[in-house]
Amino acid sequence: MLVDQHLPDHSFVTEEASDHFISELIGACERRLTGGSNHFDWYEEIPLLRCDDENDEESGLDVLAVSEAYDVRSQVTEALDYILEKALTKFSRPERWADKHVIVLDRMDHFCDEKHIKDAFAWYERELESVDLVLLADNDSISVIWAK
């Protein structure tokens, strides 16, 4: 149920935060048993420790981010490149196997919206000669991202 393979450990400094997490997890399990959603959110606590060196002229707090930081544009471009590479392999056969070759992207991430994907397409360098249309599905709406 927890989709968190790349960050397997969670940090709780106080009992209150740990109890809240356990309560939310149990609630999600109970909702799932009755046909509801198993989705839940929580905040983790990270202890911040002062790391002043004796020779520092300024006192302060050094913060080491524990989550992976990324640039939205580069992440969307990288994901788009990966998806298009797989699709173009299928559509680049010598014989055309459909009247129209259409790629439908499913919006799975709040960063992968129409604007970011269109921006990523502007950076895309490979030819899409074997593709007729690229669409973005976002719940009940469909957007044209690219058309021949």
**Residue 57 dihedral angles phi and psi, to the nearest 5°:** -80, -25
Q: What is the pLDDT of residue 144?
A: 92
- In this structure, the strands spanning 133-138 and 141-147 are antiparallel
The answer to whether 143 and 135 have CB atoms below 8 angstroms apart is: yes
CA 24 to CA 44: how far, in whole Å?
A: 13
Successive 10-residue mean pLDDT values, the chain, 148 residues: 54 82 87 85 72 64 59 79 83 79 81 81 75 87 88
Global confidence as pTM: 0.50
Q: What is the pLDDT of residue 1?
A: 42
User: Where exactly are the structural domains of the chain?
Assistant: 1-68, 72-147
CA 30 to CA 35: how far, in whole Å?
A: 9
Q: What is the pLDDT of residue 97?
A: 76
Q: What is the pLDDT of residue 148?
A: 84
